[in-house]
Structure 1
Amino acid sequence: MNRPTKIAAALAVIALSYPAAAWFAGQKIQTILDEQYAEMQSHPTLKITERSYERGVFASTEKVSFEMAMPAVAEDGTLQAGEPFRMHAVNQIKHGPLLGLSTLAAATMDTELVIDGEQGERLAATLAGKAPLTARTVFQFDGSGHSAVDSPALEFGMPDGSGNELRIGLGGLKADVAFSAGLRSYTTKGSAESMSMEDPNMRITLSGLVFDGDQRRLFDDEPWLHVGRQRATVASMDVSGKEDSELDGMAFQLERMSYDIDAPAKGDYVDIKALIGTDVLRIGDADYGPAHYDFSLTHLHGRTLVTLWRKLIEISSDPAALAAQAEDPTAVFAPLAEPAMALLGHNPAFSIDRISFTSPHGKTDLSAQLSLDGLQPEELANPMMLIAKLQAAADLSVPQALLQAFGSGQAENEDEAAFAAAQLDAQLGALEAQGYLQRNDGIVKTQAAFRQGQLTVNGKPFNPLALGGH
């Protein structure tokens, strides 16, 4: 057999075997999607209401309809079950193994997301036929892959349950998501030019959103608990009350805001460290930036945390539970009591690592820690035992002039303001004389601790009831 004949024979073999390979790739990608949707159904508020899959040799078409429970605020201010949010996705799938004669993969999937109902019709009209969200996903044979997500600038309205409309705007979004087999880990990176939300009372606008994350499942069989890192930055954020509304006159602005969450795992436990900061925090004419709010939640038992989270989500979408809350707002706590107490039984700790802001009067700093030391499961039902095991501490540093500004905020004239300032100075002086605080260069500093049922301030036993009587 000469060389041209050998080449022709090899090409014939490839041509004859390729349909079988494409069929196998199509079967593989359908199995991958089946597994993903099965896990998605475990979400308490998300339902897959319909799914169709037409598989061919070289390509397939899938349509999936989703429904998400949406609580709504009624005219009396209570939460009620609102109309579900409905949408569907159309997936055009091309089977591998050789896509476009250049990509070796199981399949590519082009997705268009469509919002259903009246809101979707209005949105479609504004987008002139464009889909509100598209994605191109490349799947590998092991189930891993990469998605490029794109959304054009859009705006749509959602009823809020009280006869009004919540307007949501997005100034374009782009994101890249790389995921492992079974969605057990993923990385994200993306940006949005702007986002907005508006109701009859208030308008919130953000610009310059950039985000990224690196997450993985803590448990292979639990798709809704991930550990890892998430970060987002916002160039600016404006919140303002509308004229003649309940929030008329309210306004504040933030600039160069950052949000950083690190959640590492230690066995079956999770630690959460959050760093939230902004360079500018402008309220009215005063700037209180740079401002920071850093907090930590440590030693959270993962399985119990998921149980508590699922129960909370179920309550927020259950009409009967929402109706009970309308009659008695405390009703929400009853079904949460068991998982919450179980979580406490694993001795978690909470700390405010830093609250700080800068006012025209100077810098204010606050930190606090809270934990239940060595609490045993059988002690959870005993309130006195909870108090005995409670450990707490706090440190505060605040300009006296800021305290005076707050204290005289309701004064109607200069004489009332001066009286309020003198009264505050006398009260602080009495506490300083008793050793409960220090004042230096206009800064008031104090520490507080609660251990073994005893409250101390600056290391001295402190009884607030006795102080009030005095």
Structure 2
Amino acid sequence: MKKSSIALVVVAALAVAYPAASWMTGKRLEEKLSKMEKKDVLFSNFKVVKQSYTRGIFSSKQESTIELDAGGMSPVLTPSALPHSLQDTAATTPGQESAEAKAEPDISSPVRKPLQIQVINYIQHGPVPGILGVAAGKIETELVLDASTLAEIKKVFGDKKFVEIRTLLNYGGGGSFAITSPAVKTSVGVNQDKLDWKGLRFEIGFDAAYKKLNFNFNSPGLEVNAANGGISAKVGEIKMQGDAERVYPDGFIYLGTSKATISSFSFTNAQAQNKGVNLKDISLESNTSLKNDLLNAGLKFGIANIMMNDTNIGNFHYDYSLQRLHAPSVNQFFVLLREMDRLQQDAAAVVETQKKLKELGVEILKHDPVVALDRLSLTSKNGEFKAAAKFGFVGVQAEDFEVPTALLSKMEVSGQASLTGNLADDFIDASQTDPEARAMMRSLFYSQIDTWETQGYIKRDNKVSSADFSWKLGQMLVNGKPFPPTPTVGAAEAAPVERK
């Protein structure tokens, strides 16, 4: 057989096979896209109230009205939803309400209407959807907006699409989701202030069960300048990337790492004495891990350099962590909390859920969870303030949940704080431009420091002022002394006595 004949046979086979493959792919996509997994916590607040699907051989069109129950995204803790020990047991006879109860609004009745969003999906079937390589399908999503909203968007973006939403679905069930917005330079607002929006791109990759996610966000930033030249705000490049893996199929606890950065931020007002603020290298990092069913999560926030009124304040750090959280109980605890708002009309179900919540709370506290302030610091070339603390419960029993004061007595806190050098002076100078205001703030600050040192609440060693603090058995201690200070015998004798 000649080569030309073989080529014709191949082309003919493809001409028959590709439409068939595309049609079958389209059928599978329709089955997947026409239903929403209500059991999945990621979609539990969404409801498809209207949908139509028009399927062709190579492409399809899906039109949907999706209802978002914003009120159900966080439980509404009505009085009946609270544990019995926290409910108001003021004397009321059956069928009779107190005056306070009558005056309160009925928060058990939802006042927040669900938000409805109209969406159109234009779907190209695989195996080769468009020119994007091999995939089950490509989806271009359009948000249907009202005329007035579109008019406002057009004022900013002109004839450009203000947002493009694209989804690629793999044959294995996973895929990727991307949102992009174009860069624009325009004038906005009544005063026609100048806006330079540099655009954005946000991508999310997911597997078939939405168990594993990875994401990447990037925007070169934006700049806004007032038309009169007085106020200017600038945001530098914004980046975010990370990965996450869901622990439980019915929950929303994810493990993984993420990092977000903003290269710079500045705000100035040329018409004010205050020259503004300038921040550089802002970062936010998170890390969540699991070992032996115990969850550890940490968050680190930092600013590499802070300038206020042309004064270099230094760098700032705020790190905290959650340690030894019993993951199965924490997950189930929040799953039940999500259900509380739906159970308000079923008193028996509410009571049963309260019982389960208490049991889960006891189980969580059995593992001695800790909330830790790992680092709070402000550091400059002239000094540093730093603090650290830990908060937790010790020896909690099930019966402690019946009496809130008993639970508070099991709470323990410990920590340290210190101030070195002339950092306080730097901060006062940066925040106050008026010399008299500076002098007054210095006087008030050092007067208070002297008072606390005299009382023993601050220790001084050269240029270092420090204190240890704790809370145990319902008592706050600073450097081992009760705080606030108790009146001395002399003070009590000097107090005026009421005469009858």
Answer yes or no: same fold by TM over 0.5. yes
Deviation at 1:447, TM superposition (A): 1.1
- CA deviation map 1:227-282 (0-9, x unaligned): 322211001224579989xxx96954321100111122346553320000001223
Once residues 7 and 176 of structure 1 are traced to their aligned partners in structure 2, the CA distance between those partners, rounded to angstroms, is 40
Residues of 1 paired with 2:173 and 2:393: CA distance?
43
Residue 232 of structure 1 aligns to which amino acid in structure 2?
A
The one-letter amino acid paired with 2:281 is R
1:362-377 matched pairs, under 5 angstroms: 362-377=383-398
Cα drift, residue 360 of structure 1: 7.0
The Cα shift of 1:133 comes to 1.6
CA separation in 2, counterparts of 1:144 and 1:379? 47
* Maintained 8 Å contact 2:314/2:381: no
2:249 aligns to what? 220
Q: Which of 220, 244, 248 pairs up with 1:193?
A: 220
Deviation of 1:10 after TM superposition, in Å, equals 5.4
Q: How does 1:399-438 map to 2 (within 5 A)?
A: 399=420, 420=444, 423-424=447-448, 426-431=450-455, 434=456, 436-438=457-459
Show the counterpart of 1:59. 59
Write the letter of the residue equivalent to 2:212.
Answer: S
Whether the aligned pair in 2 keeps the contact of 1:70 and 1:81 (CA below 8 Å) is no
Given the superposition, is the C-alpha separation of residues 86 and 238 from structure 1 closer, same or farther in structure 2, using an over 3 Å criterion?
A: farther
**2:153 alignment partner in structure 1:** 123
Residue 6 of structure 1: how far off its partner (Å)? 6.2
Report the alpha carbon displacement of residue 179 of structure 1 after superposing the two structures with TM.
1.5
Q: Deviations over 1:328-374 (max 9, x none)?
A: xxxxxxx9999699557612321111110125751100111101124
8 Å Cα contact 1:308-1:340 kept in structure 2? no
Closer, same or farther: CA 17–379 of 1 in aligned 2, 3 Å: same
Taking the aligned partners of 1:311 and 1:118, their CA distance within structure 2 comes to 37
1:58-88 CA distances to partner (integer Å, 9 max, x unpaired)? 11112334555789xxxxxxxx978977654
Distance 2:409 2:466 in 1: 27
444 and 187 in structure 1: CA distance in 2 versus 1, 3 angstrom threshold: same
Q: Which one of the candidate residues 283, 297, 301 is aligned to 1:272?
A: 297
Q: Which residue of 2 aligns with 1:173?
A: 200
> Unpaired runs of 5+ in structure 1?
72-79, 157-166, 316-334
Q: Retained in 2: the 8 A contact 1:86–1:116?
A: no
Preserved CA contact (<8 Å) 2:244 2:255: yes
* Contact 1:170 1:192 (8 Å CA) reproduced: no
Alignment map for 1:318-337 (pairs within 5 Å): none
- Structure 1 residues 7, 407: closer, same or farther in 2, change over 3 A? closer
Q: What is aligned with 1:356?
A: 377
**Deviation, structure 1 residue 396:** 0.4
The structure with more strand, counted as a fraction of residues = 1
- The farther-off stretch of 15-24 and 396-405 is 396-405
Name the residue aligned to 1:19: 19
In structure 2, relative to structure 1, the CA distance for the partners of 1:142 and 1:357 (3 Å cut) is same
Q: Which residue of 2 aligns with 1:323?
A: none
Q: Distance in 1 between matches of 2:115 and 2:42?
A: 18
Aligned counterpart in structure 2 of residue 95 of structure 1, from 104, 112, 125: 125
Q: Which amino acid aligns with 1:366?
A: A
1:123 and 1:155 in contact (8 A); partners too: no
Distance 1:130 1:337, change over 3 A: farther
The TM-score normalised by the length of structure 2 is 0.69
Alignment root-mean-square deviation, CA: 4.8
- Name the CA shift for 1:117/1:45 in 2 (closer, same or farther; >3 Å): farther
Aligned twin of 2:468: 447
Match of 2:77 in 1: none
Taking structure 1 as reference, are residues 46 and 102 closer, same or farther at Cα in structure 2, changes over 3 Å only? closer
Change (3 A) 1:273 1:425: closer
**TM-score normalised by the chain length of structure 1:** 0.72
1:260–1:115 distance in 2 versus 1, CA, 3 Å: farther
- Secondary structure at 1:122 match in 2: helix
Aligned residue type for 2:321: S
Question: Corresponding residue for 1:346?
Answer: 364
Shift of 1:53: 1.9
- Aligned partner letter, 1:179: F
User: Which string of whole-angstrom CA distances, capped at 9 and with x for unpartnered residues, describes residues 379-417 of structure 1?
Assistant: 223233323321211110113755689999999689967
Q: 1:282 aligns with which of 307, 315, 333?
A: 307
Report the AA paired with residue 28 of structure 1: R
Aligned partner of 1:28 in structure 2 is: 28
In the alignment, the residues of structure 1 paired with residue 205 and residue 320 of structure 2 have an alpha-carbon distance, to the nearest angstrom, of 29
Deviation per CA, 1:163-219, whole angstroms, max 9, x where unpaired?
xxxx99953001332221132211111211225899xxx997532101111012222
Task: Go from structure 1 to structure 2 and tell me whether the alpha carbon gap of 1:292 and 1:309 turns closer, same or farther (over 3 Å shift).
Answer: farther
Question: Structure 2 vs 1, CA of residues 365 and 67 (structure 1 numbering), >3 Å: closer, same or farther?
Answer: same
Q: 1:229 aligns with which of 252, 257, 270?
A: 257
Task: Please give the residue correspondences for 1:302-313 in structure 2 after superposition, counting only pairs within 5 Å.
Answer: 302-304=330-332, 306-307=334-335, 310=338
Question: Is the CA contact 1:188–1:214 (under 8 Å) kept in the aligned structure 2?
Answer: yes
Q: Quick one: structure 1 residues 393 and 102, their matched pair in 2 at CA, closer, same or farther if it must change by over 3 Å?
A: closer
Q: Deviations over 1:428-470 (max 9, x none)?
A: 4424xx5x54312311011112334454434x35353426886
2:209 maps to 1:182 = yes
SS in 2 for 1:346: helix
Give the whole-Å Cα distance in 1 for the aligned partners of 2:244 and 2:275.
37
Look up the equivalent residue of 2:415 and give its one-letter code.
Answer: A
Which SS does the other structure have where 1:130 is aligned?
A: coil
Structure 1 residues 266 and 49, CA gap change in structure 2 (3 angstroms): farther
Flag the 1:413–1:141 CA change in 2: closer, same or farther, 3 A: closer
